[in-house]
Chains A and B, each alone.
Chain A
Amino acid sequence: MHRSAAPGLLIALAVLAIGIAIALTVGRYPVAVSDLFDVLWSRLAGRTSTAAPAVENVVLLVRGPRVLAAVLVGAALAVAGSAFQGLFRNPLVSPDILGASSGAALGAVIGIYFSLGVIGIESLAFAGGLAAVAGVYAIGAFLSSRDPMLVLVLTGVVIGALLGAAIGLVKYLADPYNQLPAMTFWLLGSLASTTAADLLPLTLPIGLGTGVLVALRWRMDAMSLPEEEARALGIATGVLRIAIVIAATLVTSASVAAAGIIGWVGLVVPHLARTLVGPDFPRLLPTAALLGGGFLLFIDTLARTMAPIEVPLGILTAVIGTPFFIWLLAGMQRNWS
């Protein structure tokens, strides 16, 4: 299927731009649009804003970082989802297929169990995600078979279930008054505690992983060919597979460490991007990233404005994502293959 990617990309870009404009103007703390522009413009021009310090604080230190984090995490999950779906040639694969989310969740609940600080919890989550995928990959490689991808997916599912059991054990042992609620909140996903200091540890792994995927974009399409054909084209599928897995895992672990478990984005957004620009990976990747960023930003804006208390992202993405996914399934078979 050949068609221009430009309209699809433009739609995705427009969704993101509108999303950012809305997200910056609304919130629980009232900020006038004129103040918002003044703060942002003063920042760019390098002079002090005439807006109240509290307003400047909200825009630059609270809302701004959170909007950026939502875009980054959404884009990361969509990129990782697109990569894994392409790699496994399976539309039902999401970024946690190799255990990245479960591993990160286990790291986080262990961090909460030992009453670590925020940095400790997030580092453990990030390390847990990487370790889980490394373990799955090592076991999958050890169980050499004629269908390595199937073995890898199955190993991921089984290890994911084991990690789920370990999470259950830590929750069961946790102090029910203090630690258990913290674990529950973390596992439901939230960007409520995002600060400017979180952006760097989020950007580095996501940038690195996405960079690798962008560099490999032309070879990704070869992964959708049968293995023998890819080899015939001179593509080392084994090396390529490891590179893609590492890149997508970096991206997933960083976003889960920062925002907790947010389902659906990595599963649904790649499909949406495919309906816009088709399945070719070089087009799919940027479109999915833009749409994912826009989608999660929209969800997070709802999460922080609907009520005085935060609505967990994992709940909102599922409530909005499920009907959306069903609607997609009803009308999009044509875009596969």
Chain B
Amino acid sequence: MPLDRRALVAGLSTSLVAPHMGLAQPARVRNVTDAAGRAVPVPARVERIFPAGPPAAIALYTVAPDLLLGWARATTATEREFLLPDVGSRPEVGRITGRGNTANLEVVLALKPDLILDIGTVNPTFVSLADRVQQQTGVPYALLDGRFDGIAGSYRLIGELVGRRDAAEERARYVENTVKTITSRIADIAPGERPRVYYARGPRGLETGLGGSINVETIELLARNVADETRGGLGTVSIEQVLRWNPDVIITIDREFAANVSADRTWAPIAAVQSKRVHLSPQLPFGWVDFPPSVNRLIGMWWLAKIFYPERFPEDMRTLTREFYGVFYHVSIDDRQIERILAGA
């Protein structure tokens, strides 16, 4: 007798899914509403959290490092120097969201997470992804807002989800106060008076973040992005276009570009190059300006503010760095480490 394929698939999927469905509904489950308005059924004790991508891993690490199951990509030795040793060395678990899955859902299940935490874009694509993974694995999946101005709110939601409201509230306040301190000090500067900034990526510095892109969120909070006439994500521009923009300041994340730009005759006429205002972003253990788009960009706000408005921000970058790394990365760093970080190592 030929097998009825549909019946077989239905039977298989029931037997595969059912046990996990059972697991997801223990006695004391409470519903927490995530940033997408989904009711996430969270167990009373959340002890193992699977980060869906790097932004979630970093945010969770800063508030509850012990709950982090692993990293989307294994950390490198230089990154681990600035992380808690036993957490920094946790394994690579892949990512569920973003540009393509690298995590195998069976691996996710084998890690027995109590919760999958995703911080990123909240739109119908990722909402349906969250629903599907939650249904397939039986593990509650919370989707949080990854935009820079959503960080404080995401902290509070994490506190709610993992039951550590005080620690999360402390981080949320720190974020809000920092942003408020910095933005209020330049609130009287009209948009037209703010420095015109070009954000350079790629070895030749010709990739840039267009207006409204997540890559230049913090730059646009503090100054004018020369590329904001076009809205979008990342784009390539010609050197002629950069010459025409003639930015006052160039912020880059590319070491090769930063090292070579001052000797490059094509870039020489640009105001930022002439006044030596080309700055390489620190990137240890996580980038200060662009990626991953998580709370690591907060310390970058101070760094950018000091670059854009040196006279208004007399604070010592070393003190700020030491404090931020203590509060968020749980490490105390010495002066030599700070110098290395600030040099863009």
Name A residues whose Cβ lies closer than 8 Å to a Cβ of B. 27-30, 53-54, 57-58, 61-63, 66, 117-118, 121, 172, 175-178, 180-182, 185, 190, 192-193, 195, 304, 307-310, 312
**Docked CA distance A281–B227 (Å):** 47
Contacts of A117 in B (CB 8 A): 203, 256
Which of B230, B243, B291 has the most chain A CB atoms closer than 10 A to its own CB?
B243
With the chains together, A175 CA to B292 CA distance in Å? 10
- Chain B, interface residues (CB within 8 Å), range: 35 or more
Of the candidates A30, A63, A182, A309, the one whose C-beta lies within 8 Å of that of B235 is: A309
Q: Is B236 an interface residue (CB 8 A)?
A: yes
Judged by a CB distance under 8 angstroms, whether B229 is at the interface is yes
A308 touches B230 (CB 8 A): yes
Residue of B236, B256, B264 with most partner-chain A CB within 10 A: B236
The answer to whether A192 touches B243 (Cβ under 8 A) is no
A178 to B73, CA, bound (A): 14
Contacts of B241 in A (CB 8 A): 28-29, 304, 308-309
Q: Number of contacts between A and B (CB, 8 Å)?
A: 99
Give A39 Cβ to nearest chain B Cβ, in Å: 14
Known: A54-B269, A172-B102, A192-B206. A185 touches B238 (CB 8 A): no
Residues of chain B in range 235-289 having any CB-CB distance to chain A below 8 Å:
235-241, 243-244, 253, 256, 264-266, 268-269
B238 pairs with A177, CB closer than 8 A: no
Contacts A/B (CB < 8 Å), 5 sampled: A54-B269, A57-B265, A57-B269, A176-B99, A178-B291
Residues of B with C-beta under 8 A to A310? 206, 235-238
* Nearest CB on A from B240, distance (A): 4
- B236 adjacent to A62 (CB under 8 Å): no
Q: Are B239 and A118 in contact (CB under 8 A)?
A: no
Task: Check B207 against A185 for contact (C-beta < 8 Å).
Answer: yes
**B234 at interface (Cβ–Cβ under 8 A)?**
yes
Residues of B within 8 A of A (CB): 54, 73, 95, 98-100, 102, 201-204, 206-208, 210, 227, 229-230, 232, 234-241, 243-244, 253, 256, 264-266, 268-269, 290-293
User: What residues of B have a CB within 8 angstroms of the CB of A192 in the complex?
Assistant: 206, 236-239
Known: A62-B238, A309-B237. 17 other contacts (CB 8 A): A29-B241, A57-B268, A62-B239, A62-B240, A62-B243, A66-B238, A117-B256, A172-B102, A175-B73, A176-B95, A192-B238, A193-B202, A195-B264, A304-B238, A308-B230, A310-B238, A312-B236
CB contacts (< 8 Å) of B243 on chain A: these are 29, 54, 57-58, 62
Q: Which residues of A contact B265 (CB under 8 A)?
A: 57, 61
Q: Do the beta carbons of B290 and A177 come within 8 Å of each other?
A: yes
Contact B256 A118 (CB under 8 A): yes
Question: With A and B bound together, what is the CA distance between A195 and B54 in angstroms?
Answer: 36
Given A57-B265, A172-B102, A195-B266, also A308-B229 (CB < 8 A): yes
Which residues from chain B contact A308 at a C-beta distance below 8 Å? 227, 229-230, 237, 241
Cβ-defined contact, A28 with B204, below 8 A: no
Instruction: List chain B residues, Cβ under 8 A from A304.
Output: 238, 240-241
Contacts of B204 in A (CB 8 A): 118, 193
Chain B residue nearest to A111 (CB atoms) is: B203
Residues of B within 8 A of A29 (CB): 240-241, 243-244
Q: Which of B203, B230, B236, B253 contacts A121 (CB 8 A)?
A: B203
Residues of A near B239 (CB, < 8 A) are 62, 192-193
CB of A190 within 8 A of CB of B236, answer: yes
Q: How far is the CA of A308 from the CA of B98 in the complex (A)?
A: 27
Q: Kindly report which residue of chain B lies nearest to residue A180, judged by CB atoms.
A: B99
Q: Which residues on the A side are within 8 Å of B292 (C-beta)?
A: 177
Instruction: Decide if A28 touches B240 in the complex (CB within 8 Å).
Output: yes
B293 to chain A, nearest CB (A): 8
Contact B230 A309 (CB under 8 A): yes
A307 — which chain B residues lie within 8 A by C-beta?
230
5 closest A-B pairs by beta carbon, nearest first, are A177-B291, A309-B235, A193-B204, A28-B241, A29-B240
Q: In whole angstroms, how far apart are the Cα atoms of A182 and B236 in the complex?
A: 9
In the bound assembly, the distance between CA atoms of A190 and B102 in angstroms comes to 29
Q: A193 vs B98: C-alpha distance in the bound complex, in angstroms?
A: 28
Does the CB pair B203–A118 fall under 8 Å?
A: yes
A318: min CB distance to chain B, Å: 17
